[in-house]
Structure 1
Amino acid sequence: MNLTTQVMGTRQEIGTVLRGAELEYERHGDCWVSRVVGPHIGARHAAVDAVRIPAGRQWSPPGAAAAEQVAVVLAGAGVGTVGYEISRMRAASALYSPIGSTYSLSAGDREMTVYIWSAVPSEGGTARTRPAQFRSLWNGETWLTPPAANVLFRPGAGCDGLCLRCGIMQPGETLGVRPHEENEAVYFVFEGEGQFYLHDRWVDLGPGDGVFASPGIRQGARNPYSGRLASRFVVFGGSVAGIPSYLADDLPDL
């Protein structure tokens, strides 16, 4: 669902609500792929695919070496490889494949679902340090607490442009409402029910749902629920071609 607003009498796109249950998949080899974010919703730089890898099968995309890619496992378990590195993967695991490298994801005894970011930095950049290749949504550099917000991959820590982070909100917590400067951003829900803010409204999201935010759009997330049955709300995502200044100011230089 595309969202718009009126600015000085002109209609402006502010973003898109992405519903996991509405994704349409096409077969690619042994796997099923849905282009979640791309030019079809107005994204100029961000590209995100949802990939379902059947049990015992492997996803090894052709041309992976031409772009940075980050994969996050939503469900299932298996093994991930980046170059010569290998790691077990399960729900909440994340993999980073830099430009010039190849990667693969192999599902175990049940289907594995992953969301994959791709980016080709506009200036082609090169990593200044050896990047971390395997992380989890539950670890990284914590820059704000509470609520907890972990930065898994970012420019300056080996990545050229992709920035991936995870926000963990307990009932009643809000993870800021800030402008995202000049960058497009894409966020998805890993766990729980909550809301995401886009420009001037809150939208309800559940597991597998997400949002695409156009450049300069105010955004944030919150867990508005309370009571005995309320649970934590976990979102993950990030931007292409840079890291917001409010985040960069709180992280160490590398």
Structure 2
Amino acid sequence: MTPTSTATARGAVISASALEFQPREGCSVATAVGPHLGARIVRLDVVRIPPGGAWRPEESVAEENVVVVFAGSGTAASGAAEQRVERADTVYAPTGDAYGLTAEDAGLTAYVWHTTLRADRSPGTAPRRFSRLWNEETQLKGFTGVGNDEASEKTATMNFLFWPGTGSPQLCLHCGFMQPGEYFNVHVHPESEEAFFAFEGEGQLHLDGAWYDARPGDVLYAPPGVPHGTRHPVDDPSAPRFATCGGPTPFDPVLYERAGVSTKVR
């Protein structure tokens, strides 16, 4: 299927072309995932910053935030730390620290996850603030999944960018990349809301029993307990890889246990 947008009580797949941007503080913002889809834990915004513009939302200090630069370049701030960023760079701002983005001459587009930290969770002691989608230092391979579809043995690779091991107590950021024929097998998160988007290449997103064609910028939202996954169903081995990024909120310890790493927040 190739929907412009499909949304039900069991989740949603939103085409990038269906995002509705509104002007805010000199930028344009679209809420891809939020209360309008029934999400109560996570919000995913898409922010477009004009050339030379800046995005510094005051409310971010009260939230945990993760940023992925989708297009353009500029400077990112997380608390007092700053770093130049470009496409595929990522930023983490723990609760208590604001984040900010300043665009260079070509402007900057970012996908930003937000959550309010639960009372039983505390920020890490020295969290990682900057990373990149292609950071391979901690990975999950061979994920068999759980769901209605038979698991494929041609499994994708997932990079862990922000997770308990880097000091993130609730949000996480993973990047799954699939070569032709590979799957990140269908699975569920019993207590987490999943929000992710297609970053590069073309592939398919699974939601609640159906597969949907996806292109860069398209978003998937799965409520707790709803099956979801991704695949690159192309026979041509020379086709470009398909990559998605995002993650369940709050983080699902099963993913880290499958990868053989600690689920303790550092």
- Structure 2 length-normalised TM: 0.87
CA offsets 1:188-232 (integer angstroms, 9 cap, x no match): 000011001112111111000011001111111100012266211
Q: Whole-Å Cα distance in 1 between the matches of residues 41 and 132 of structure 2?
A: 25
Alignment of 1:11-22 (within 5 A): 13-22=9-18
1:154 alignment partner, one of 146, 150, 163: 163
Instruction: For residue 121 of structure 1, give the secondary structure of its aligned residue in structure 2.
Output: coil
Query: Does the CA contact (< 8 Å) of 1:122 and 1:241 recur in 2?
Result: no
Q: Whole-Å Cα distance in 2 between the matches of residues 57 and 102 of structure 1?
A: 17
Are 2:139 and 1:142 equivalent residues in the alignment? Answer: yes
Q: Whole-Å Cα distance in 2 between the matches of residues 19 and 217 of structure 1?
A: 19
What one-letter code is carried by the residue in structure 2 that aligns with 1:141?
A: T
2:85 alignment partner, one of 80, 86, 89: 89
Name the count of aligned residue pairs. Answer: 246
Q: Whole-Å Cα distance in 2 between the matches of residues 197 and 213 of structure 1?
A: 10
Are 2:61 and 1:65 equivalent residues in the alignment? Answer: yes
Are 2:221 and 1:225 equivalent residues in the alignment? Answer: no
1:163 alignment partner, one of 169, 172, 175: 172
Alignment of 1:105-124 (within 5 A): 105-123=101-119
In the alignment, what sits opposite 1:9? none
Are 2:39 and 1:43 equivalent residues in the alignment? Answer: yes
> Which consecutive unaligned segments of at least 5 residues does structure 1 have?
5-12
What one-letter code is carried by the residue in structure 2 that aligns with 1:123?
A: A
In the alignment, what sits opposite 2:184? 175
Q: Label 1:89 to 1:70 Cα distance change in 2 as closer, same or farther (>3 A).
A: same
CA offsets 1:142-198 (integer angstroms, 9 cap, x no match): 121652210111135311200110001011111111122221101100001100111
1:237 alignment partner, one of 237, 241, 246: 246
Instruction: For residue 189 of structure 1, give the secondary structure of its aligned residue in structure 2.
Output: strand
Q: Whole-Å Cα distance in 2 between the matches of residues 228 and 148 of structure 1?
A: 16
Q: Whole-Å Cα distance in 1 between the matches of residues 45 and 94 of structure 2?
A: 17
Query: Does the CA contact (< 8 Å) of 1:78 and 1:105 recur in 2?
Result: yes
Q: Whole-Å Cα distance in 2 between the matches of residues 122 and 161 of structure 1?
A: 8
Q: CA deviation at 1:82?
A: 1.1
Q: CA deviation at 1:251?
A: 4.0
Instruction: For residue 109 of structure 1, give the secondary structure of its aligned residue in structure 2.
Output: strand
Q: Whole-Å Cα distance in 2 between the matches of residues 152 and 48 of structure 1?
A: 17
Query: Does the CA contact (< 8 Å) of 2:69 and 2:110 recur in 1?
Result: yes
Q: Whole-Å Cα distance in 2 between the matches of residues 174 and 149 of structure 1?
A: 11
Identity of aligned residues (%): 38
CA offsets 1:104-145 (integer angstroms, 9 cap, x no match): 111111111001000012226212431110010000511216
Q: CA deviation at 1:86?
A: 1.2
**What is the RMSD of the two structures over their aligned residues, measured on CA atoms?**
1.6
In the alignment, what sits opposite 1:8? none
What one-letter code is carried by the residue in structure 2 that aligns with 1:91?
A: R
Q: CA deviation at 1:2?
A: 3.8
Query: Does the CA contact (< 8 Å) of 2:94 and 2:168 recur in 1?
Result: yes
Instruction: For residue 75 of structure 1, give the secondary structure of its aligned residue in structure 2.
Output: strand
Are 2:210 and 1:201 equivalent residues in the alignment? Answer: yes
2:19 alignment partner, one of 16, 23, 28: 23
Q: CA deviation at 1:3?
A: 4.5
- Structure 1 length-normalised TM: 0.91
CA offsets 1:35-78 (integer angstroms, 9 cap, x no match): 11111111111101100000111111111110000010100011
What one-letter code is carried by the residue in structure 2 that aligns with 1:178?
A: H
